Amino acid sequence: MLTPTIKKILFFGAIAAAIALIAFGIYFFFFSKNPTTGTGSNLPSGNSQGRLPTDVRPAPGETETPSGQVQTEPRLFSVHDKPVVSAVSFIRNKVSFTRFVEQGSGHVYEYNFKTKAKVRISNTSIPQIAEALWSSDGNTLVFRYEESGVVHTAVGSLSTTTEESAFKKISFLPEGIRSISISADGSQVFYIVKGDSPAIGVLAKADGGSPKILFSSPLSQWNVDWADPGSVLISTPQSLFGGIAYRVRLSDGVQSQLTISDITFGGVQGGSSRQLIATVPSNGQVTQLGSKGEFSDLSDFSWPTKCAFAQFATSSMVCANMAQTDLLRFDEWQRGEIRTSDQLVATNFAAGYKMLLIPSDDLGDKTFDMTNISLTPTGEYLVFKNRVDQLLWGVRVPGGIQ
C-alpha cells in the first residue's frame, strides 16, 4: 500500500512528465523545421530559402545579381542637379538617350539611359538661354536668349558624338520672332514674326535661308507647333475668351480649321502621325482631337503644353494632370506666379484606359510642376522638367507605355 509521501511524489512526477511532453511538442512544431530567410508571406510558394524560383525573370528595369537577388532601378530619378531649359529623348544604335540644355551655362549634356552615364557634349558660351527646341534626333537645336534687351533666336548644329566641342554651326534668324518651331529632322523652321501685317508665318531652312511666307493675320499673337512632316499647327494663345487653331500645309500654305471656341481655348499640340491634343471648350479639359473635330471622352485636367504623344503608339499620350481648380489659371502659371502639383498619367485612346506612371510610394513628399515631357522611342523612359526646382527628372515605365 502506497504511503501518502509516495503518492505525492508520483502525482508531481506525472505533472512534470506532462509538462515535458508539451514542451517537446512545442519545440518540434516551431523550431525543428529548416531555417528560412524572411517570413513565410514573403517567400515564393515551394521555396524555403527566400530566393526567386528559377522560372521567375527580373521585370523591365531590374537586374539580377550573382547571388540571385533582384535590384530594381528607381521608378523616379534625377537626371541633372542644375536647372535645365528643355530636353529631347531619342534612340541611337538601339540605345535610348536624352539631351538637354543647362540653363545657367548653355551647355548641352547627353544622358544614356542604359549605362546611366552623363557627358557634356558642348562647351556653349551663351548663358541664360530662355527657350530651347529640338529636332527629334537631338542634333539640331533652336535656342533663344536675351542680350541688351533684345531677344535673339539661333539654330545650332551639334555633333552626333559625345565628344565635347562647340556647335558645329550656329545660324541667327531675324529679330522679333514671337513663336518658332523646328521640323523633326532639323532641316527647317517655321516662325511667326511681324511683317506687312501684324503677324506672318515664315517657312525657312534651318539656317534661315529661302524664307517663304505661308501665313498672314491681322492678329499679332500666334503660337506655332510643327505637327508632322507636311504641316504646322498655328493657334491663338490660351484664353478664357475663345480662340482658333489651323493646320497649315507646308507645300502651298493652304489652311484648314481644326477647332474654334468662343469660350475656353487651350491651343493644340500635334504628334508625328497627325494626332492632335486639344482643350475641350465646354470644360477646359485636355484630350485627343479627332480628324472630324470630335473630342475623345478620355479627358484629363491638364493643358496641351503639359502633354506629349508617344512616338511609337499613335493612340497614346502622357499628361501631367493637375487639380481641376488650376485649369483656368494658365496665364498665372505661364508668368510663374503659381505652381501646379501634378500626377503623370498615360492615356491609351484606342484601348480606353489610363495608367498612373508615378505611384504615390515613389513620389514620396516630392511636388512636381511638370513641363517639356519627352518620351524615348521605346516607351520605357521619359523625362520632364520640374518647374518647382527647375531640374530634369526621369521616369522608368516598367513594360513601356502601350
Cβ atoms 363, 347 nearer than 8 A: no
The tens digit of pLDDT for each residue in 101-124 reads: 999 888 999 999 999 999 998 877
Length of the chain: 402
Cβ atoms 398, 61 nearer than 8 A: yes
**Number of helices and strands in the chain (H, E):** 3, 29
What's the mean pLDDT in 348-375? 92
Please state, in angstroms and rounded to a whole number, the distance separating the CA atoms of residues 307 and 317: 7
Burial degree of 284 (CB within 10 A; 0-12, 13-18, 19+): buried
Cβ atoms 230, 251 nearer than 8 A: yes
Q: Which of 72-76, 185-189, 351-355 has the lowest mean pLDDT?
A: 72-76
Please state, in angstroms and rounded to a whole number, the distance separating the CA atoms of residues 124 and 147: 16
The tens digit of pLDDT for each residue in 249-306 reads: 999 999 999 999 999 999 999 988 889 999 999 999 999 999 889 999 999 999 999 9
For cell 483656368, what's the residue? 328
Cβ atoms 182, 171 nearer than 8 A: no
Cβ atoms 298, 290 nearer than 8 A: no
Is the pLDDT score of 13 beyond 70?
A: no
The tens digit of pLDDT for each residue in 196-244 reads: 999 999 999 999 999 999 999 999 999 999 988 999 999 999 999 999 9
Cβ atoms 105, 124 nearer than 8 A: yes
CB atoms within 10 A of CB 226: 22
Q: What is the pTM of this model?
A: 0.80
In a 3-state reduction of DSSP, which class is residue 216? strand
Phi, psi of 94 (to 5 degrees): 65, 15
Mean pLDDT for the chain overall: 83
The tens digit of pLDDT for each residue in 70-104 reads: 457 899 999 999 999 999 999 999 999 999 999 98
Residues in contact with 29: Cβ distance below 8 Å, sequence separation at least 6, in sequence order: none
Q: Which of 134-138, 148-152, 195-199 has the lowest mean pLDDT?
A: 148-152
Looking at residue 128, what is its pLDDT?
77
The tens digit of pLDDT for each residue in 14-73 reads: 555 555 545 544 444 444 444 333 333 232 222 333 222 223 333 444 444 444 454 578
| 346, containing H or E segment | strand 343-348
**b/e string for 71-103 if b means 16 or more Cβ within 10 A?**
eeeebbeebbeeebbbbbbbeeeeebbbbbbbb
Is the pLDDT score of 190 beyond 60?
A: yes
DSSP characters over 86-115: EEEEEEETTEEEEEEEETTT--EEEEETTT
